[in-house]
Chains A and B, each alone.
Chain A
Amino acid sequence: MKKPTLSPFFLHVCKKAMFYFGTYFIALSLTFVIIRLMPGNPIQVLVARLMAGRPKGGPVFGVDRLYLLFIQEFSLDKLAHEQYIVYMQSMLGSTINLLTFRICPVLQSANFGISITYYPLTVMDIMTGKLLWSLALLLPSIVIGFIVGNYLGAIAASKKGVIDNVVFNTSLFLSNIPYYCLALILLFVFAFVYRIFPIGGGYSFGRIGFSLTLDWIIDYLHHYALPFLSLFLITVGGQAIGMRVMMIYELNSDYYVYSKQLGLSERKLVNYAYQNAILPQITGLALSFGSIFSGSLITEVVFNYPGIGLALYNAILGRDYPLIQGCFAIITLTTLVANFLMDIAYAFIDPRIRAVYAGEKA
């Protein structure tokens, strides 16, 4: 009887999933430590003040409501380890709720907490929309930037000479401009000096809700262009530099030099080199998703683009602690999910990994 064996690919996926889950757990715990346990942390100070201000007579609306909300949200009446358990339960439950697109009725109340500034809306209500806006900005700029950047890097490496210099220097410059600096410059040049694009926002005011009319789509793209450009250009720069390095490795490698001397066509060889060089680029992309996401947070603030970055910034200004906590959890979650998906894709593409699991390689 043949023993049923798990597909090696599945094992790989499970291993990665466990790693990412562990990372998420640690990230959530870090947030807990930062927000609850740091000495003199703002929540404790605020609650102490609220308690001092509590009137002897009847309730004072604002003070009392905030006080009760804090006690409820952060279970401040419990001990530290109890707080931790409640916190983790709530966060993990909310995460599952979010990942299952809120279908599961049992988890309906797990919603990352109630926001203070938008009371009584929950963090989940607020963030789902904003997350979609952030993703709409990130994904196309990363994907298109990846394709264009790698292509340019490969060309630079294989053609050498003037093209190499030009591409290298431009990419070096572009990849090193901080996201917000490029955003400011683009804003100044294209929204102020030459009034081609609007100065910010996701769409113009007179629109209630969203619609799929051509009109709306054009307006949306009009507001989308500058934030997109500021992320896209830097991604192109970064990818070009990286790809150039990888290609140079490949171009110097034994098999390449040997095959070239054997007389194989340059074009085909470059193609092979490209396919080899792009694998680590994909890993690199997975790792840099986190940094691009972080960079886009400040870009959103500069352009007033209604995504997570702006929400986090406003939450911090308004000291809306549940919202800060929830935003960070969602940002981390997005990064981890993206990395996980890219790991799976990478496992598909790279034949070496599959070979390991199929037992061909030691």
Chain B
Amino acid sequence: MKRRERGRENHGPFFASVLLAILVLSLLLPCSKVSAQVIPREEAFYMESWEAPASFNSFNPDAPSFRPFLEPLFILDAWHFEIVPWLAESYEWIGDLTLRITLPSDAAWNDGESLNATDVNYTFSLPLRRSEITGAVADLWTYLDHITVVSSTTLDFVLKAENPNKYILIHTLTTQEILPEHVWSTKEEEYDNLMEFPNTENPVGSGAYKLEYVDVVEGKTIWVRDNNYWGKAYHGLPQPKYIVNIVIDSNEMGNYMLSMGELDWSECFMPAIWELPEGRGTWSTNPPYYMPVPYMTGLIYFNYLQITGDDALNNPEVRRAIAFAINWSKLCDVAFSRLTTPANPSLLPETVPELAKYINTTAVDQYGWAYNVTRANEILDDEGYPWDAGHVWRTYDGTTKIGPYEILIPDGWSDWVAAAEIVLGNLEAIGIDIDVRLCLEEEFFTSIEYGTFEITFDQPSTWTPSIPWYTYYVIYCSRTSPAYNLPMPAYGNWGSYNNTRVDELLDIIALTDPTNVTALTALYGELQYIVLKELPFIPGWFYGPFYEYSETYWANWPTENNPYTGAVCYWDSSHGYFPMLFRLKSTSDVIACDVNLDGIVDIEDIYSMALAYGALSEQPQYKFNLDVNYDGIIDIEDIYSAALQYGQMHDP
């Protein structure tokens, strides 16, 4: 019997081997770049962000917000609501117009150069020389007269006598990172537009971390701790040796990764957050789960560039009826998955005493609202918008229908989409027709900045060093609106509300001494009276900062039970997360006990603990990294833990 049939060739083995080759090669296709480094998980802190790391230039609005290689002069502790010195040592008001900042003498950049007043002066003065620099630091010069360098460690910021706005100055001191003059001044000649300087090659900064690796397509940035960080005597050294920052593109992915332990810290909107498994957490285990401060305030904006004349929405009582008609607690429960609370009509939270004292309770009682459909219908009937039996909707005079109005919502923001649906249903119940239009994120941003929407939502940031003034300023001041700024984009007051007295009040408040409570109460009181009576926009909900963590590798997270600092997101412009980074403790005992982070638990570590023996957390000798079990005292238990780990090494 012939093995091969005549006339028929046997291609079998040939094709089999081709297929096998294809299989093996294709499996290995992704191994196109070969590198050997793997970061040990327990030394790394994993976080996520949304911005592609193409540039680390502080003036580029597209650059990632998380830049741990740079530091601001001060930061805002979001829970205690205090300005905490960071790069600077202290500040002091000299007279009414001058703020004196003192820097430590040993501040240094990570390339060895010393950091002094020249760098601070340079950073803040850049907008004067380079017109392309915009943003907060440029706006500052509307109110700042000049900066005097008194000595290499002291500077004076002098405000203009005619409008010394202290709020903006303090705000900018927490947001603006200090840049190295010796690097940036050379870049000034190189670049026509300074914002094009990517600053991704060994960027020089003063912070505790240096850039180790960045890949824009992979979306991965890796920061490595600088053991020579100048501030280690003041802030200590952060325990995470590496910070790995991954770009994610959806809340779902971030939440998945957190629940599987692949992220340590995240700021994704997490539905059903009460079902977080063991070992994961957020600020509190009770609603609203996030820090109960109005970090952002949600409002319904009406656009007065589109709503004019006799339009029903131009009538404040109609808007008030809408406020009565919306089921705010259902909105917070369902649309925001219990993460928000209904806002106080005055925009000030009753739960924060320093702010609550300014609430004008009379105005709130008279012009405020609560969910009450009957009352809503009453108001509309009284205002003369009949709802006849024959009609589906209310009308102006029996024939012309009110609306329909269009609410613009970015598609994909599931909480807002759900909220809009609820609002839709609620308004149907009082006879007003609205449509919800879903659009792309970028169309949404353009429409609010250029005033082309009809109705929309937004959540401006309302927990900054400059509140409560800033809250009212960014929402109601006509100078931030599209009407005032076009053709440039607006940066607040999306609906172009314009009231001269409100603007006046805001300006007066900005110049009033923040300690003059009597004067301020009267001023805020009048302000609230006007904006509540006219109700141009409807305050809706208070949102705490998004915050979830995993305790698998790092512990000592700020929570309700451990509120040593505020729990904010990585995009907090006032850098409130710095203390958290420096106080995280590794769950690996070896790393936790290696207090000087030199790679080995040895006599030096025990010696440091012995020197601070008995220190309680309030006392100056207490260094939190010596308190291994973080029980508030450096005692024998901490030394015992170190002894148990004696001689253990880890990768420093």
Q: Is the interface of B mostly helix, strand, loop or mixed?
A: loop
A55 at the interface (CB under 8 A from B): yes
Which residues of chain B are near A144, meaning CB under 8 Å? 23
**Given A54-B487, A139-B23: A207 and B38 interface contact (C-beta under 8 Å):** yes
Please determine whether A61 and B195 come into contact, CB atoms closer than 8 angstroms: yes
Cβ–Cβ contact A317 & B249, under 8 A:
yes
A30 to B316, CA, bound (A): 51
Q: Does B372 touch A at the CB level, under 8 Å?
A: no
Beta-carbon contact of B29 and A135 below 8 Å: yes
Shortest C-beta distance, A7 to chain B (Å), equals 18
A206 close to B41 (CB less than 8 A): yes
Contact partner of A143 (CB less than 8 A), chosen from B23, B52, B213, B450, is: B23
B30 touches A215 (CB 8 A): no
Check if B23 sits within 8 Å of A140, measured CB to CB. yes
Tell me if A267 is interfacial: C-beta within 8 Å of chain B: no
Report the minimum CB–CB distance from A203 to chain B (whole Å).
8
Q: Is B22 an interface position by the 8 A CB rule?
A: yes
Partner of A205, one of B246, B442, B446: B246
Interface positions, chain A 35-60, Cβ under 8 Å from B, are 42, 46, 49, 52-56, 58-60
A61's contact among B22, B38, B193, B257, by CB below 8 Å, is which? Answer: B193
Q: How far in angstroms is the closest Cβ of chain B from A293?
A: 14
Task: Provide the residues of chain A in CB contact with B39, threshold 8 Å.
Answer: 206-208
Q: Does B389 contact A (CB under 8 A)?
A: no
Taking CB atoms, residues of chain A closer than 8 Å to B44 are 206
A61 x B36 contact (CB < 8 A): no
CB distance from B408 to the nearest CB of A (A): 14
Cβ of B11: which chain A residues have Cβ within 8 Å of it? 348-349
Residues of A within 8 Å of B41, CB to CB, are 206
CA distance A126 to B216 in the complex (A): 9
Give the residues in chain B near A56, CB-CB below 8 Å.
487
Q: Is B147 an interface residue (CB 8 A)?
A: no
B262's nearest neighbour on chain A, judged by CB, is A205
Choose from A52, A139, A200 the contact partner of B253 (Cβ within 8 Å): A200
Decide: A205 and B249 in contact? CB cutoff 8 A.
no
In angstroms, Cα B131 to Cα A117, docked, is 25
Asked if A129 is at the interface of the complex by the 8 Å CB criterion, the answer is yes
A60 to B450, CA, bound (A): 14
1/0 per position for A126-151, CB-CB distance to B under 8 A?
10011011011011100110010000
B256 surroundings in chain A (CB, below 8 A): 199-200
**In this complex, what residue of B is CB-closest to A64?**
B193
Pair A210/B35 contact, Cβ less than 8 Å: yes
State which of A42, A60, A121, A349 has its C-beta within 8 Å of the C-beta of B134: A60
- Which residue from chain B places its CB closest to the CB of A61 in the assembled complex? B195
A4 within 8 A of B: no
Chain B residues with Cβ below 8 Å from A270 are none
Q: Enumerate B450-502 residues with CB–CB distance to A below 8 Å.
A: 450, 486-489
Q: Which residues of A contact B233 (CB under 8 A)?
A: none
Q: A125 contacts the other chain (Cβ, under 8 Å)?
A: yes
Check if B33 sits within 8 Å of A53, measured CB to CB.
no
Contacts of B489 in A (CB 8 A): 53, 60, 63
Which B residue sits closest to A306, measured CB to CB?
B218
Q: Does A334 contact B (CB under 8 A)?
A: no
Q: How far is the CA of A348 from the CA of B15 in the complex (A)?
A: 11
B450 touches A49 (CB 8 A): yes
Distance from A42 Cβ to chain B, minimum over Cβ atoms (Å): 8
The one of A46, A125, A135, A147 in contact with B19, judged by C-beta atoms closer than 8 angstroms, is A147
Asked if B34 contacts A126 (CB within 8 A), the reply is: no
In Å, the complex CA distance between A304 and B40 comes to 24
Q: Known: A132-B29, A205-B262. Is A61-B134 also a contact (CB below 8 A)?
A: yes
Which residues of A have CB within 8 Å of B134? 60-61
Asked if B33 and A136 make an inter-chain contact with CB atoms under 8 angstroms apart, the answer reads no
Interface residues of B in 216-262 (CB under 8 A from A): 216-218, 220, 222, 244, 246, 249, 253, 256-257, 260, 262
Choose among B30, B195, B213, B216 the residue with the greatest number of A CB atoms under 10 Å from its CB: B30
Instruction: Tell me the nearest residue of chain B to A52, going by C-beta.
Output: B487
A204 interface residue (CB < 8 Å to B): yes
**Closest residue of chain B to A146, judged by CB?**
B19
Which one of A49, A120, A132, A202 lies within 8 Å of B54 (CB-CB)?
A: A120
A5 at the interface (CB under 8 A from B): no
B217 and A129 form a contact (CB under 8 A):
yes
- Asked if residues B35 and A209 are in contact (CB atoms below 8 Å), the reply is yes
Residue among A138, A147, A317 with most chain B CB within 10 A: A317
Q: Which of A61, A200, A215 contacts B132 (CB 8 A)?
A: A61
Cα–Cα, bound, A38→B36 (Å): 49
A62 contacts partner chain B, Cβ-Cβ < 8 Å: yes
Q: How far is the CA of A147 from the CA of B12 in the complex (A)?
A: 13
A55-B487, A60-B489 given as contacts; is B26 within 8 A of A208 (CB)? no
- Chain A contacts with B in 227-284, Cβ cutoff 8 A: none
A197 CB to closest chain B CB, in angstroms?
11
Closest approach, in angstroms, between the C-beta of B76 and any C-beta of chain A? 26
Alpha-carbon distance A61/B59, docked complex (angstroms) = 10
Please, which residues of chain A bring their CB within 8 A of the CB of B38?
206-208, 211, 215-216
Residues from chain B with a CB closer than 8 A to the CB of A135 are 26, 29
B279 interface residue (CB < 8 Å to A): no
Chain B neighbourhood of A317, CB < 8 A: 249, 412, 441
A220 at the B interface (CB under 8 A) = yes
- Report if A133-B30 is in contact (Cβ < 8 Å); known contacts: A54-B487, A60-B488, A213-B36: yes
Q: Judge whether A118 and B217 touch: CB under 8 Å.
A: yes
> Given the complex, which residues of B lie within 8 Å of A46, measured CB to CB?
442
Q: Mark A318-340, 1 if CB is under 8 A from B, else 0.
A: 11000000000000000000000
Does A119 lie at the interface of the complex (its beta carbon under 8 Å from any beta carbon of B)? yes
The answer to whether A210 and B253 touch across the interface, beta carbons within 8 angstroms, is no
Contacts of A209 in B (CB 8 A): 33-35, 37
Given contacts A60-B488, A210-B31, 16 further A-B contacts (CB under 8 A): A52-B487, A53-B487, A59-B132, A60-B134, A60-B489, A61-B132, A121-B216, A121-B217, A129-B32, A136-B26, A205-B262, A209-B37, A210-B35, A212-B34, A314-B249, A317-B249
- Hey, which bits of chain B sit against chain A, CB under 8 A? 11, 15, 19, 22-23, 26-41, 44, 46, 52, 54, 59-62, 131-132, 134, 193, 195, 213, 216-218, 220, 222, 244, 246, 249, 253, 256-257, 260, 262, 412, 440-442, 446, 449-450, 486-489
12 A-B pairs within 8 Å (CB atoms) are namely A42-B440, A52-B487, A53-B486, A63-B489, A121-B217, A126-B217, A135-B29, A210-B30, A210-B31, A210-B34, A210-B35, A317-B412
